[in-house]
Amino acid sequence: GYFEQVVSQCRFSSKDLQGTEFIDSYVFNKAEYVRFNSTVGKYVGYTELGVKNAEAWNKGPELAVELGELERFCKHNAPIDYSA
């Protein structure tokens, strides 16, 4: 069988949220093939398929969605994370 997953992470370096980073990692059969990092601001491919996907996604609407996730997902939920 095949195994595919997307792992979304928010990395906080301080409570003031200045150094917050959003990362989406796309994994197929335990190997990461493409990643979006809000600090880099684009998708980066790590395999032949990942490079092709990154090129296409960086030109399409997928990039705009990912760019908004830092505010929508990470910074919005940070008070919940810090209260736990």
- Residue range 33-63, pLDDT digits in tens: 999 999 999 999 999 999 999 999 999 999 9
How many domains are contained in the chain? 1
How crowded is residue 31: how many other Cβ atoms within 10 Å of its Cβ?
11
Residues 6+ apart with CB under 8 A from 58: 42, 43
Kindly give, in sequence order, each residue whose CB lies less than 8 Å from that of residue 65, ignoring residues fewer than 6 positions away.
none
Please report, for the domain that includes residue 24, its CATH number. Answer: 3.10.320.10
Range of the domain at 52: 4-83
Kindly state the percentage of the chain with pLDDT values over 70.
99
pTM for this model (two decimals): 0.86
pLDDT beyond 90 at 64? yes
